[in-house]
Chain A
Amino acid sequence: MKTCTLSINNKQITVPEETTILEAAKKLNINIPTLCYHPDQKVKANCRICLVHDKSSDKFVTACSTKVTDGAEILTNTQEVRDLQKGVLELIIANHPNDCLNCIRSGSCSLQDLCRRFNINNSDMINNIDTYVIDNTSGVLVRDRNKCIKCMRCVEVCQETQMVGVLSPYNRSVNTNVGAGFNTNLDKTLCTFCGQCSSVCPVGAIYENDETEKAWEAINDPNKHVVVQVAPAVRVALGDELGISRGEEVTGKMITALRMLGFDKVFDTNFTADLTILEEGNELLHRIKTGGTLPLITSCSPGWINYAEGFFPDLLEHVSTCKSPQQMFGAVAKTYYAKKMDIDPAKVFVISIMPCTAKKFEAARPDINSSGFRDVDVVLTTRELTRMIKSAGIDFADLEDEEFDTLMGTSTGAAVIFGATGGVMEAALRTVYEKVTGEILTDIDFHDVRGFDGIKEATVDLAGTSVKVAVAHGLSNAYKLMEEVKKGNSEYAFIEIMACTGGCLGGGGQPVRSTKLVKARRMDSIYRIDREMPIRKSHENPEVIQLYEDFLGNPNSHLAHELLHTHYKKRSDELV
């Protein structure tokens, strides 16, 4: 491996040839300012704020895109460099609304951070603030083009990582914008609402539709019995912006905080994750036995469902009819739970805390109310819960741990791994294997389906039959698998698809600035929780067993089918 020796701010360093100046500087603990740069994306070099001076060639170059050369003398902090960087920053601000007090990203905004770094209060540039209409037509994601700094991170994630292709730059010069063709509002596009754009946006140009006021209203309404469910991936991310190091598990504190916020019951979506495994495992075995449509594809990722309905509408019969754990929870809460607690179901108000923006879309689907009421009333992302906790003045980091409430609060290791890509598959295999073979599975870790590879496969021996399964995360990988299904040459019996890279732990509703490094930490935490759980297989969950015994009967019983299953349909042709 060839190396280069160069000096940065008069400090020598030797690095591999292909290292960029930005990366080399980081090794010397120097953080050159950046905006459009994202460690998990292609280098764009369009914001121009990472300019540094290469004294040896007397050129000013962008550190993010320039590779080191032998003998280079890089200066990152001279007055001249700082003046140029400040100038670029002022140019951006001249076109940026002065909205920090109101902005949802205040405190987590890369532009704001840079302004503090360069001591910018005002710029002597002439203000040219756009007055575009804010698009909140979808009720899920909000686009504020006035704040866009044209970094194009969202374009890369939408076009390449997700292959949904709704966001793209258009026009030229100062009219450059990012949006759907003809600047169509989001609700009239094939947007899957995966929210990855909101996750990578450095500023407040695209963000989740904040519904915390609805949550407060419900909590403060004496006529409502407000029940909260929390997804697995939230408990390894909530601490990110509450003083805990990123990726650490905070389940106990999370439960305490939720109680302090005033929820009447604090339950665990993992409970219905286990339920989903029983229903879906049953569905898989049924299809295998009766020659039903295979591969069966999981259905708990609404970003994936939106993608399937929009881009592969002819293959919807492959998708499991099981609702997602979020939706199953709502249906069960407003029937089983309400009955058990003798509460009028009309008064039960279900709020879910999700790492996902698409869950807002899912909860609002018109046909997802088989309990007689909307399964889930309000969906809050991890980010919104963070804001609620801060707003209530709770010192999160110092909280004691508490436990989930009973009846719908017990779960297994199989449930918690739903938060990672490959988790649903592994959970299903743990149950299906035992159901089919009648044997106890001793080595229950299916490592083949874990990790960050875009597509993972495994072959499982089920009582003599070799069954191939696959796991994809990120919609561009879903595309690859679906193309095989479309052509009829998919070799898999069961496929798990998650819309977001890393699975739900990398969801569009998670704290911003979640790089791959952070996601890896979350993944480690999730598998550690699994290892330490007393029960690790879904079918051994005593509360789920009780649910079937007392209420549902058997998987896919008439009642189970009515409450826990749904159907899909092609999205409108009008959407662009």
Chain B
Amino acid sequence: MEKLITDDALYHKIDEIIAMHGASKHNLLAILLEVQEINPNHYISKDEVIYISKKLDTHVSNVFNVMSFYSALSDKPKGRYVIQICNSTCCKVSKYEKLQEMIEKELKIKVGETTSDGMFSLEYSSCFGACDISPAIKIGHEVYGMLDQLKLKRIIESYRGN
């Protein structure tokens, strides 16, 4: 789902975000994170990047440099809810693969894919510090662990419900 290039409301919001950060190049990371947040598909489009670079008086290549460096930023659209499965050390010994199987079964997609209705994307993530409840998943700002198939189903349904 591509954004409309002439979405005035979107660009107005971007202006606000930039203004709130003093239109300073140093706040580029914070600005990008917030701009991404207002997009339901958790990404920043090329047009937005060009716009931001003009407003901050910096090169498009520099904005793209920052965007592409960090895992939390994306230049490609994702599903409405991004489910991240930790595949780092602790979740490995806690068998994240079993959790992955459960989710893939529930959503009928594999890691790296998005459901056809655009609701869920599934991806791996490096450790996000939820080792005490591993294996863990993260959906937006929420972290879930100690899951069985039933708990997982309920969680996913609660997101579907929204």
Asked if chains A and B are in direct contact (CB within 8 A), the reply is: yes
**Which residues of chain A come closer than 8 Å to B19, judged between CB atoms?**
none
* Chain A residue nearest to B59 in the complex (CB): A165
**B48–chain A nearest beta-carbon distance, Å:** 12
Question: Pick the contact of A168 from B49, B50, B64 — CB < 8 Å?
Answer: B64
**Which residues of chain A come closer than 8 Å to B64, judged between CB atoms?**
168, 170, 181-182
Judge if B65 is at the interface, Cβ distance under 8 Å.
yes
**Which residues of chain A come closer than 8 Å to B89, judged between CB atoms?**
none
**Which of A165, A170, A172: most chain B CB closer than 10 A?**
A170
Alpha-carbon distance between A435 and B61 when the two chains are bound, in angstroms: 48
Alpha-carbon distance between A542 and B46 when the two chains are bound, in angstroms: 57
- Contact between chains at B69 and A180 (CB < 8 Å): no
Question: Pick the contact of A576 from B58, B61, B65, B69 — CB < 8 Å?
Answer: B61
Which residues of B (62-92) have their CB < 8 Å from a CB of A? 62-65, 68-69, 75
**Which residues of chain A come closer than 8 Å to B59, judged between CB atoms?**
159, 165-166, 168, 181
Question: Pick the contact of A165 from B62, B68, B75 — CB < 8 Å?
Answer: B62
**Which residues of chain B come closer than 8 Å to A169, judged between CB atoms?**
65
- Contact between chains at B65 and A170 (CB < 8 Å): yes
Alpha-carbon distance between A180 and B68 when the two chains are bound, in angstroms: 12
Which residues of A (154-193) have their CB < 8 Å from a CB of B? 159, 165-172, 179-182
**B124–chain A nearest beta-carbon distance, Å:** 14
Report B34-57 CB contacts with A as 1/0, cut-off 8 Å.
000000000000100110010000
- Contact between chains at B69 and A166 (CB < 8 Å): no
* Chain B residue nearest to A575 in the complex (CB): B60
- Contact between chains at B61 and A181 (CB < 8 Å): yes
Alpha-carbon distance between A479 and B72 when the two chains are bound, in angstroms: 35
**Which residues of chain A come closer than 8 Å to B50, judged between CB atoms?**
576
**Which residues of chain B come closer than 8 Å to A576, judged between CB atoms?**
50, 60-61
**B62–chain A nearest beta-carbon distance, Å:** 6
- Contact between chains at B61 and A171 (CB < 8 Å): no
**Which residues of chain A come closer than 8 Å to B62, judged between CB atoms?**
159, 165, 168, 181
A181-B49, A576-B50 known; A170 vs B69 contact (CB < 8 Å): yes
* Chain A residue nearest to B58 in the complex (CB): A165
Alpha-carbon distance between A181 and B69 when the two chains are bound, in angstroms: 12
Alpha-carbon distance between A179 and B65 when the two chains are bound, in angstroms: 9
- Contact between chains at B61 and A168 (CB < 8 Å): yes
**A25–chain B nearest beta-carbon distance, Å:** 34
**A307–chain B nearest beta-carbon distance, Å:** 13
* Chain B residue nearest to A168 in the complex (CB): B61
* Chain A residue nearest to B49 in the complex (CB): A181
Alpha-carbon distance between A168 and B61 when the two chains are bound, in angstroms: 6
- Contact between chains at A171 and B68 (CB < 8 Å): yes
Alpha-carbon distance between A159 and B25 when the two chains are bound, in angstroms: 15
**A59–chain B nearest beta-carbon distance, Å:** 29
- Contact between chains at A168 and B75 (CB < 8 Å): no
**Which of B58, B59, B63, B65: most chain A CB closer than 10 A?**
B59
**Which residues of chain B come closer than 8 Å to A170, judged between CB atoms?**
61, 64-65, 68-69
Alpha-carbon distance between A180 and B62 when the two chains are bound, in angstroms: 9
Alpha-carbon distance between A19 and B64 when the two chains are bound, in angstroms: 36
**Which residues of chain B come closer than 8 Å to A172, judged between CB atoms?**
68-69
**Which residues of chain A come closer than 8 Å to B65, judged between CB atoms?**
168-170, 181
**Which residues of chain A come closer than 8 Å to B53, judged between CB atoms?**
181
* Chain A residue nearest to B62 in the complex (CB): A168
**Which residues of chain B come closer than 8 Å to A181, judged between CB atoms?**
46, 49, 53, 59-65
**Which residues of chain A come closer than 8 Å to B69, judged between CB atoms?**
170-172
Alpha-carbon distance between A576 and B61 when the two chains are bound, in angstroms: 8
**Which residues of chain B come closer than 8 Å to A167, judged between CB atoms?**
61
Alpha-carbon distance between A182 and B53 when the two chains are bound, in angstroms: 13
**A241–chain B nearest beta-carbon distance, Å:** 32
**Which residues of chain B come closer than 8 Å to A180, judged between CB atoms?**
60-61
* Chain B residue nearest to A175 in the complex (CB): B68
**Which residues of chain B come closer than 8 Å to A168, judged between CB atoms?**
59, 61-62, 64-65
**A210–chain B nearest beta-carbon distance, Å:** 26
Alpha-carbon distance between A170 and B53 when the two chains are bound, in angstroms: 15
**A246–chain B nearest beta-carbon distance, Å:** 33
Alpha-carbon distance between A165 and B46 when the two chains are bound, in angstroms: 17
- Contact between chains at A166 and B61 (CB < 8 Å): yes
**Which residues of chain A come closer than 8 Å to B60, judged between CB atoms?**
165, 180-182, 576
* Chain A residue nearest to B53 in the complex (CB): A181
**Which residues of chain A come closer than 8 Å to B75, judged between CB atoms?**
182
**A117–chain B nearest beta-carbon distance, Å:** 33
Which residues of A (18-50) have their CB < 8 Å from a CB of B? none
**A160–chain B nearest beta-carbon distance, Å:** 11
Alpha-carbon distance between A170 and B65 when the two chains are bound, in angstroms: 4
**A364–chain B nearest beta-carbon distance, Å:** 24
Which residues of A (170-228) have their CB < 8 Å from a CB of B? 170-172, 179-182
* Chain A residue nearest to B67 in the complex (CB): A170
Report B7-46 CB contacts with A as 1/0, cut-off 8 Å.
0000000000000000000000000000000000000001
* Chain B residue nearest to A171 in the complex (CB): B68
Alpha-carbon distance between A384 and B9 when the two chains are bound, in angstroms: 53
* Chain A residue nearest to B69 in the complex (CB): A172
**A480–chain B nearest beta-carbon distance, Å:** 15
* Chain B residue nearest to A177 in the complex (CB): B68
**Which residues of chain A come closer than 8 Å to B49, judged between CB atoms?**
181-182
Alpha-carbon distance between A166 and B49 when the two chains are bound, in angstroms: 14
**Which residues of chain B come closer than 8 Å to A166, judged between CB atoms?**
59, 61
Alpha-carbon distance between A180 and B75 when the two chains are bound, in angstroms: 14
Which residues of A (538-576) have their CB < 8 Å from a CB of B? 576
**A163–chain B nearest beta-carbon distance, Å:** 9
Alpha-carbon distance between A182 and B61 when the two chains are bound, in angstroms: 8
Please, could you name 17 A-B residue pairs with CB atoms under 8 Å apart, sorted by A? A165-B61, A166-B61, A167-B61, A168-B59, A168-B61, A168-B65, A170-B61, A170-B65, A170-B69, A171-B68, A172-B69, A179-B61, A181-B46, A181-B59, A182-B60, A576-B50, A576-B60
- Which residues of A come within 8 Å of B, CB atoms? 159, 165-172, 179-182, 576
Given A168-B62, A168-B65, A170-B69: 20 more A-B contacts, CB < 8 Å: A159-B62, A165-B58, A165-B59, A165-B62, A167-B61, A168-B59, A170-B61, A170-B65, A171-B68, A172-B68, A180-B60, A180-B61, A181-B49, A181-B59, A181-B61, A181-B62, A181-B65, A182-B60, A576-B50, A576-B61
In the A-B complex, the 3 residue pairs with the closest CB atoms? A165-B59, A181-B64, A168-B61
- Which residues of B come within 8 Å of A, CB atoms? 46, 49-50, 53, 58-65, 68-69, 75
